Structures are given as C-alpha cells and as structure tokens.
Amino acid sequence: NAGVTQTPKFRVLKTGQSMTLLCAQDMNHEYMYWYRQDPGMGLRLIHYSVGEGTTAKGEVPDGYNVSRLKKQNFLLGLESAAPSQTSVYFCASSSGGGGSYEQYFGPGTRLTVT
C-alpha cells in the first residue's frame, strides 16, 4: 500500500514550456486535490476532483489544468510555465460519502521555472 505517490519529484522548466504532474493513490479514494505551497503563503488549493471524470477549481486555478480519467489518478498540467509557478506541488486524496474525509498527502513535486 503506497498511499499517495507523485511523479516527478523534481523538475526544472524554462518559461513557456509545458509539463504534466502525475498523482496516483491506491486507497480507492473518491476525492483528490492539488495544492501548491509557497513560503509565507501556506498551502493553497489549485483544483480538486470529487470523482472520476469530474474536476473543479480551487483558490488559485489560473495557469493550470487537470484531468481525472481514472479514479486512482489525478493529473495537473501547466500549458505554458511562468516563473510565478515555481513552487512545491502536493497532491492529496480522501474518502467521501460517510467517511472521515481525512486527507492523505503525497511527498510533493518541487518545480522551478526559470
């Protein structure tokens, strides 16, 4: 039982490049989330999903897109990276529908955009 895993762990992009971050969970959780963590700002929600095929915007969605084609996977895409997207990205998942909604986090992806 690996919990929540994220790939890659580190990435350096040039401004304007694109990339996709992959999150996978093996706990059969309905809900999945993408957060970013910046110094002095805390963790902020980018997008989330309440089930396969569904996504919704969070607090800071601009510049990002997401997809949830399979229940266990949640992808975060940057179409045209900007230096302001330099951050640590965390994926999380939780149960729903009568569960505790306790969120479990992945180890993070450190992204630098130059």
Partner 1 sequence: KQEVTQIPAALSVPEGENLVLNCSFTDSAIYNLQWFRQDPGKGLTSLLLIQSSQREQTSGRLNASLDKSSGRSTLYIAASQPGDSATYLCAVRVGQAGTALIFGKGTTLSVSS
Under the rule (CB under 8 A), what is the footprint of partner 1? Answer: 30-31, 33, 35, 40-45, 48-50, 56, 58, 90, 92, 96-97, 100-108
Residue type for position 84: S
Closer by beta carbon to partner 1, 58 or else 63: 58
For residue 24 the two structure tokens come to 């996978």
Which residue lies nearer to partner 1 by CB, 51 or 83?
Answer: 51
**Nearer to partner 1 (CB atom), residue 31 or residue 64:** 31
CB 30 to partner 1: min, Å: 8
Two structure tokens written together for 81: 């990276």
Query: Based on the number of CB atoms within 10 Å of its own CB, is 10 exposed (0-12), middle (13-18) or buried (19 or more)?
Result: exposed
Shortest Å, Cβ 27 to partner 1: 13
Residue among 81 and 91 whose Cβ is closer to partner 1:
91
Enter the DSSP assignment of 19: E
Question: What's the DSSP call for residue 113?
Answer: E
Give the nearest distance from C-beta 39 to partner 1 in angstroms: 10
CA–CA distance, 111 with 55 (Å, rounded to integer): 23
